[in-house]
Amino acid sequence: MKMTKIITVTAALAALGLAGCQSTGGSEEAAADASGVTIFKTANFPEAPKTDFTPTPGEQAPYYGTPVDIPGVVQNENYDFGGQGVSFNELTTDKNGQKGSRKCDRGDGIYLTFRKIQGFKGCVIAWSTENEWVEYTVDVKEAGTYTVNFSVVQGFQEEPRPTFKLQRMDGDTAVDLTTDVSVPFTDFPWADWHTLSYPGVEMTAGVQTLRIAYTSNGGAKTPGNMDYFEFIKE
Ligand SMILES: [Ca+2]
Ligand SMILES: [Ca+2]
């Protein structure tokens, strides 16, 4: 179970006194479990500027008009254009009663916040809820096995833990690239960003649509906030 591994590694981190370890470059790993998900402090990636691409209403298109290259980093807030039911499924357009950030808001109902994230500032998708999803058009330059690093923060401690998964769209069919990834409690008050490192993801080459699917809130009120996900070739 991925969840068990994360909890185990989290406990191991605390035991090793590594919970406050700061990663500064890309993917400096604080602890590892060769067979599954590991967790470490999120690295800092500068965020790209806002797009100047003008999409055709209702048609799915990548945020910048061209796909994101993989290997590389996908910023969660730069999901595809297209709108509800096309490039995302947004179920809480009241944004859970909270106000998003004007710097980040795309005016489509997805709750984007602006956060200071361990030394830099950037936009993140917040207050997702189960059965929501967001899609990203990418161009996989090299087929093969990747480790995917998801940068998350989660301030709810309740069990069971919430989950999400990464999928690839085959037409209208979502094909799982990961199993459910369990999101551990990282710290209150939602400021301590961690990276969930998921190895062994098989990617085919070429332009394709990826989906982050929020599969369960668990005992929490949300699967948590996500800043970016990064593909590293193994
Ligand atoms: Ca939402
Ligand atoms: Ca981001």
Question: What separation in Å is there between the alpha carbon of 84 and the centre of ligand 1?
Answer: 11
Question: What separation in Å is there between the alpha carbon of 149 and the centre of ligand 2?
Answer: 13
Question: What separation in Å is there between the alpha carbon of 131 and the centre of ligand 1?
Answer: 10
pLDDT digits (tens, 9 = 90+) for 40-52: 887 666 777 889 9
The answer to whether 106 and 112 are in contact (CB under 8 A) is: yes
Bond into 223 cis (ω within 30)? no
Question: What separation in Å is there between the alpha carbon of 100 and the centre of ligand 2?
Answer: 14
What mean pLDDT do residues 95-102 have? Answer: 69
CA distance 42 to 25: 10
Q: Which is more confidently placed, 89 or 1?
A: 89
Q: In this structure, which amino acid lies at residue 78?
A: N
| Ligand in closest contact with the CA of 110 | 1
| Ligand in closest contact with the CA of 126 | 1
What mean pLDDT do residues 56-72 have? Answer: 97
Task: Return the biggest CA–CA distance within the chain.
Answer: 52
Residue 52's pLDDT is what? 93
Tell me the residues surrounding ligand 1 (ion) with CB < 5 Å.
92, 128
Domain 2-44+66-229: homologous superfamily in CATH: Galactose-binding domain-like (2.60.120.260)
Question: What separation in Å is there between the alpha carbon of 29 and the centre of ligand 1?
Answer: 30
In the chain, the N- to C-terminal Cα span, in Å, equals 22
| Ligand in closest contact with the CA of 113 | 2
The domains of the chain are located at 2-44+66-229
Question: What separation in Å is there between the alpha carbon of 42 and the centre of ligand 1?
Answer: 23
pLDDT digits (tens, 9 = 90+) for 157-192: 999 999 999 999 999 999 999 999 999 998 777 888
